[in-house]
Amino acid sequence: MTDFKYYTLDNAHQAFGSVIVLDVLRAFTTAAHAFDRGAETIFPVASVEGAIQLRKRIRGSLIMGEVDGIKPVEFDFGNSPDEIRGLDLSGRTLIQRTSAGTQGIMRAVYADRLFAASFVVAKATALQIQQINPEAVSFIVTGESMGRDGDEDRACGEYIQSLIIGEGHDPGIFTQRVATSSVGRFFKLSQNPYISEKDFDLSIEADRFSFSLPVEREQDLWVMRAEKPIS
């Protein structure tokens, strides 16, 4: 029987087994839309400087992401699924730096298998975990930090857990919690030009995509790709 545990960014280094790093608003919703628009690979990184240096190493690569919700001037795109879904990214390599999601990936040092996840890839992620059939699944709730409750990510983890164990709950039971989370309320009220209500709407479209987002270590880099579960 699979054991499920939940962690935050503060203790993410303790996560073990198959680790699922959650970022609903918006990093891994944005990443999923990038793959849907044809991106080939995404390299998650921890810092702005790391992203810029990696773009110099990888010819033709583009950077997307944010610092405190705002796109750095050096980046090509922000952390917006609405922005990304309007692009043609066929065959492109992206680099992603965010304040929560990519930080969780960096800190999952004891993962046997590692996945990035949000509601849009929840069912595919659950199917991948079922096929692995691990003894332990760890969820990293990246939104629970800096005074935020992270309930948008916790809800996504609980939905994925329900799918893994075969309970098959209506996703609406879980996605409705995004609006009442501290970050969800901020999205609804914010006048920040980098935060759009459309991004919020795209982030609660449960199971929109049929691929998961496994992350693997290749030499000195983390690499994310889209992968469909085996039928």
Q: Rounded CA gap, 122 and 30, in Å?
A: 14
Task: Read off the pLDDT band of 147 (50, 70, 90).
Answer: confident
The arrangement of secondary structure in 3-224, i.e. its CATH architecture, is Alpha-Beta Complex (3.90)
Note whether 121 and 213 are within 8 A (CB).
yes
**Residues above pLDDT 90, as percent of the chain:** 88
Q: Which residues pair with 218 in a beta bridge?
A: 221
| Helices and strands (H, E) in the chain, number of each type | 9, 9
Domain extent listing, the chain: 3-224
Q: Could you give the angle at the alpha carbon of 203 between the alpha carbons of 197 and 209, nearest 5°?
A: 140
**Whole-model pTM above 0.85?**
yes
Burial class (CB in 10 A: 0-12, 13-18, 19+), 120: buried
Note whether 136 and 3 are within 8 A (CB).
yes
Task: Read off the pLDDT band of 231 (50, 70, 90).
Answer: low
65-75: pLDDT as tens digits: 999 999 999 99
